[in-house]
Chain A
Amino acid sequence: MVGEGILKGLVETARNFFGSYVGKDRLTTVQYPEERLPQIEAARSFPFLVYDGPDWDKGMRCVACQICEKECPPKCILIKKSADKKPDAVGKPQFYPAVFNIDISVCMSCQICVEVCPFDAIKMDVDYDLSTDDRFGDLLLDKERLAKSNEYYNAIHPTEAAAVDAHFAEERAKAEAKAKAATEAKAAAEAKVAPAAQEQPVGGETQ
């Protein structure tokens, strides 16, 4: 019979129409500003810089190696290396970024900067409420706005952050063990012969 399928479709949509007023479970819409979907761990929006400890400027993990700047496909990262050095997460003295800007109006959220970072300093954020009425100023994030604590990173990506922290703890333990070994060796060397001990602490430090 001609038109049978049309009638079936009409009945289906009519059922939707009345059903959506009766049963709220039919409505799949999430009323966004009031309700939000639960955050998915793998979600990502734009990159941010991780810092350790209470002070964002001192604890910044980034060492201004500029790999991310070079790898970034749309070239939205700008880094200026500092002149002096300060100790990094493991304790080695390193450069730090004097300027670190990301233009998130250009960024395409590809996560390549995160993949290439050897210091686990740059990670992907999950914040998506980024709309603003100043499209030039407010979308160009500087170092201060990019810096977010390790606790925040642990909150948004727990599994990943735990792995990173474990890795850092291992590194730190290794470094400490090495430093301890070095000091012990130094002490032993000092105890033995004073002139021969001159080279050893230097070798231990550079390894």
Chain B
Amino acid sequence: MTQALDQIFVLTKQWLLGFVPASAQPICSAILSVVPVLIGFPLLFAITTWLERKGLGRLQNRYGPNRTGPYGLFQPIADAIKSLTKEDIVPLTADHTVHFLAPVLLAAASFLGYAVLPIGRNMVLVNMNAGVLYFFAVGSVVELAVFMAGWSSRSKYSLLGAMRAIAQMISYEVPLVLASIVAIMQAGSLSTVAIVDKQAGYTGIWPHWFVFTPWGVVGFALFMIAATAESNRSPFDLPEGESEIIAGYYIEYSGFKFALFFLGEYLGMFATSGMAITLFLGGWSAPFSFLTWIPSYVWFFAKLLALIAGFIWIRGTLPRLRMDQLMSLAWEFILPMALLNMLDAGIWHFMPAGVLRWLVCTAIVAVPCVLLGQGLKRNKKFQVRTYQFAK
């Protein structure tokens, strides 16, 4: 019974495939796998917008949306109707083709990452040999879409926003990949399915998740910081800072194209969160051995929602960083920590298991963390700023 419930989607798909002729089965199989993802995650996006507005409201002692439907639950529907019926404005001097293509490319690229995320046991679209590499490769296409949006609008704000966004994404892609390397090293594979399988066992009731090791917890923290920056979320939302460059690269977009940008941004956030779950939080596996009767996909989405809640909490708490703070955090703290963390994971791999391994590996990451943190604090010089090009 538990087994059947766990595999219900896989079994349903196979049952449905029985009705189509053998020659059409590969294409039907692909459609049956892809369509739920294409529906499910945008639905999650709709729910998240409501959760975010409610959550942010409560974090700031407000009510949040409470007019449309019970507890404002129909707010996403109202938003969708509004954005669909709004006038689609294209600036007169804009590059029309590129202006149109940018949101399409962004949304498409954001969807591509889901191909390698194991949502549940046996529930992955493509079990790719180089799954993690694929994920980061399609993630880098987003930068191009952002540039296209910013450049084609012919507006200084959108161009500034695009340049900020690209600079930020490139800077944080390095720590993002370096932070994920520790999990790849330990699993010995780039395949997401293999990485999840590696974490599936239990010692007593405790799972073998990578986050429960010194290098794992540091890797997870660095990955989440870099993921926040990659998805342009607060406190790293400089590319779209409302108070300075209004909305950044998508300022000249309205109506459904604007909604597509929003969708792409949230899908990117879900995808990187899903990757963090896959790499460090054991993918779809249950947190305790006695909870394995709950279906695997439930665990995946529970973890995803927990991470989203974390994102919202962070957004409701921290103010926006300045550009130089953003860069110094990336290059002076996160990057050295990620490199050290790789060394730590290697040492962990070769030391015999025991308390000594724990102590040594914790010390290797904890001491530099404190030292680098002090370095970040000490380097604060308050002085009149001089600008190289604006004199």
Q: Do chains A and B touch in the complex (CB under 8 A)?
A: yes
Give me the interface of A with B, judged by CB distance under 8 Å.
Answer: 1-3, 6, 9-10, 12-14, 16-17, 19-21, 26-29, 31
Smallest beta-carbon distance B135→chain A, Å: 28
Residues of B within 8 A of A2 (CB): 333, 369-370, 372-374, 376-377
Leading 3 A-B pairs by shortest Cβ distance = A2-B373, A9-B317, A13-B59
Nearest residue (CB) in B for A28 is B61
Please give, as numbers and ranges, the residues of chain B lying within 8 Å of A6 by CB-CB distance: 317-318
User: Known contacts A2-B370, A2-B373, A27-B63: does B58 contact A12 (CB below 8 Å)?
Assistant: no
A6 to B376, CA, bound (A): 14
CA distance A3 to B374 in the complex (A): 11
- Inter-chain contact B317/A13, CB cutoff 8 Å: yes
Q: Which residues of A contact B59 (CB under 8 A)?
A: 13-14, 16-17
Chain A CB within 10 Å, residue with most, of B59, B61, B318 = B61
A10 to B317, CA, bound (A): 6
What does the 1/0 interface line of B365-386 toward A look like (CB < 8 Å)? Answer: 0000110111011000000000
Collect the chain A residues with CB atoms within 8 Å of residue B373's CB: 1-3
* Shortest Cβ distance from residue A134 to the other chain B in the assembled complex, whole angstroms: 20
Question: With an 8 A cutoff between CB atoms, is B60 at the interface?
Answer: yes
Q: Is the interface of B mostly helix, strand, loop or mixed?
A: helix
Secondary structure class of chain A's binding surface, majority of residues: helix
Q: Are A29 and B313 in contact (CB under 8 A)?
A: no
* 9 A–B contacts from the bound complex (CB under 8 Å): A2-B369, A13-B316, A13-B317, A16-B59, A20-B61, A20-B62, A26-B61, A29-B62, A31-B63
How far apart are B61's CB and chain A's nearest CB, in angstroms? Answer: 5
User: In the complex, are the beta carbons of B61 and A27 less than 8 A apart?
Assistant: yes
B374 touches A16 (CB 8 A): no
CB-CB < 8 A to B317: which residues of A? 6, 9-10, 12-13
Whether, in the assembled complex, B274 has its beta carbon less than 8 Å from a beta carbon of chain A, the answer is: no
Q: How far is the CB of A28 from chain B (nearest CB, A)?
A: 6
Q: Which residues does chain B contribute within 8 Å of A10, judged by CB atoms?
A: 313-314, 317
- B264 interface contact, C-beta 8 A: no
Given A3-B373, A17-B58, A28-B62, 18 extra CB contacts under 8 A: A1-B370, A2-B369, A2-B370, A2-B372, A2-B374, A6-B318, A10-B313, A10-B314, A12-B317, A13-B59, A14-B313, A17-B55, A20-B58, A20-B62, A27-B61, A27-B62, A28-B61, A31-B63
Q: How far is the CB of A12 from chain B (nearest CB, A)?
A: 7
Partner of A16, one of B58, B314, B333, B377: B58
Most interface-central of B58, B313, B318, B372 (chain A CB within 10 A): B58
A20 to chain B, nearest CB (A): 5
B370 touches A16 (CB 8 A): no
Alpha-carbon separation in the docked complex, A149 to B314 (Å)? 54
Q: What B residues does A16 contact at CB under 8 A?
A: 58-61
Q: How far is the CA of A28 from the CA of B58 in the complex (A)?
A: 11
Min Cβ gap A86→B in Å is 50
Q: Give CA–CA (A115, B59) in the complex, Å.
A: 45
The listed residue with most B CB atoms (<10 A of its CB), out of A10, A14, A21, is: A10
| B55 CB → nearest A CB, Å | 7
Interfacial chain A residues near B372, Cβ < 8 Å: 2
B318 proximity list for chain A (CB < 8 A): 6, 9
B286, chain A: closest CB distance, angstroms? 26
- Using a CB-CB cutoff of 8 Å, which residues 306-332 of chain B contact chain A? 313-314, 316-318
**In the complex, A19→B58 CA distance in Å?**
9
- Closest Cβ of chain A: how far from B200's Cβ, in Å? 31
Out of B63, B316, B374, which one reaches A29, CB within 8 Å?
B63
Q: Which residues of A lie under 8 Å from residue B313 when comparing CB positions?
A: 10, 13-14, 17
Which residues of B284-324 have CB atoms within 8 Å of chain A's CB atoms? 313-314, 316-318
Closest to B315 in A: A13
In the complex, per-residue mask of B53-90: 1 if CB is within 8 Å of any chain A CB, else 0: 00100111111000000000000000000000000000
Minimum CB distance partner of B60 in chain A: A16
Complex CA distance for A21 and B58, rounded to whole angstroms: 8
Of residues 197 through 238 on chain B, the ones whose CB sits less than 8 Å from some CB of chain A are: none
Residues on B with C-beta less than 8 A from A19 are: 61
Once the chains are docked, how many angstroms separate the CA of A19 from the CA of B376?
A: 34
Q: How far is the CA of A9 from the CA of B234 in the complex (A)?
A: 14
Q: What separation, in Å, do the CA atoms of A16 and B63 have in the docked complex?
A: 12
Q: How far is the CB of B26 from chain A (nearest CB, A)?
A: 48
